């Protein structure tokens, strides 16, 4: 946990510098951030929030898979995987190169998509809460969670814990879409493995 806290502190500095850069660019009028909620209509607040989550999930999935390439893993992602059984402290325990890549999305998106400040803040809060939740190391929801027509598309602690144990499955951040589409969804998820995790957590 102490190692994870040290890496998380480093990641915090990287994200803070990224936020400072975004604010600096906003002050110069170089971003697409805006403060008037009616500028693009109230409907756009919800639309842009969902759009950023979908784009971020895709970005994270493919970056995450690249981090697991044998020639890159040592430099980009090994620090995060030193916790075979994750805890909330593991959530942002990134090596410096990975922290930079993860921060780059939140920096870059403000130059691509018009976003209200509250939308950007909501995305950061959602990312933080979701990431901590995924690294709890124990399940909060009932065994039906991976099988329900709606919740089966969302990643939870059991889903991500399997990634920390097996390395070759479950690369998404919020949604199981890319794992299902590209064959990196563990076929046992929702059956034997989550039952074992629940027994260990009991």
| b/e sequence 78-108, b meaning 16+ C-beta within 10 Å | ebbbebeebebbbbbbbbeebbbbbbebbbe
Nearest to 103 by CA among 7, 178, 13: 13
Residue 52 burial (C-beta neighbours within 10 Å; 0-12, 13-18, 19+): buried
Q: Long-range contacts: 25-34, Cβ < 8 Å, 24+?
A: 25/110, 25/111, 26/110, 30/111, 31/110, 31/111, 32/110, 32/111, 32/112, 32/113, 32/114, 32/115, 33/110, 33/114, 33/115, 33/116, 33/117, 33/120, 34/114, 34/115, 34/116, 34/117
Q: How far apart are CA 32 and CA 183, in angstroms?
A: 36
At residue 6 the predicted structure's pLDDT band, cuts being 50, 70 and 90, is very high
Interval 152-190: pLDDT, tens: 999 999 899 899 988 999 999 999 999 999 999 998 887
Domain extent listing, the chain: 2-201
At residue 195 the predicted structure's pLDDT band, cuts being 50, 70 and 90, is low
Interval 128-156: pLDDT, tens: 999 999 998 888 888 888 888 999 999 99
- pTM score, two decimals? 0.90
Interval 54-81: pLDDT, tens: 999 999 999 999 999 999 999 999 999 9
Percent of the chain with pLDDT over 70: 95
């Amino acid at each position: 946990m102490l190692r994870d806290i040290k890496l998380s502190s480093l990641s915090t500095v990287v994200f803070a510098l990224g936020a400072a850069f975004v604010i600096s660019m906003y002050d110069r009028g170089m971003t697409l951030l805006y403060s008037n909620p009616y500028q693009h209509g109230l409907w756009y607040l919800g639309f842009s929030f969902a759009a950023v989550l979908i784009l971020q999930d895709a970005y994270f999935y493919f970056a995450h898979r690249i981090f697991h390439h044998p020639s890159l893993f040592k430099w980009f992602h090994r620090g995060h995987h030193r916790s075979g059984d994750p805890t909330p402290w593991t959530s942002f325990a990134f090596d410096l190169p990975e922290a930079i890549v993860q921060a780059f999305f939140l920096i870059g998106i403000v130059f691509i998509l018009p976003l209200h400040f509250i939308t950007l803040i909501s995305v950061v809060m959602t990312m933080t809460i979701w990431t901590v939740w995924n690294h709890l190391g124990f399940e909060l929801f009932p065994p039906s969670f991976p099988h329900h027509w709606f919740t089966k598309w969302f990643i939870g602690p059991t889903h991500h814990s399997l990634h920390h144990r097996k390395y070759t499955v479950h690369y998404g951040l919020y949604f199981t879409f890319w794992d299902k589409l590209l064959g990196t969804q563990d076929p046992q998820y929702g059956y034997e493995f989550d039952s074992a995790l629940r027994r260990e957590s009991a």
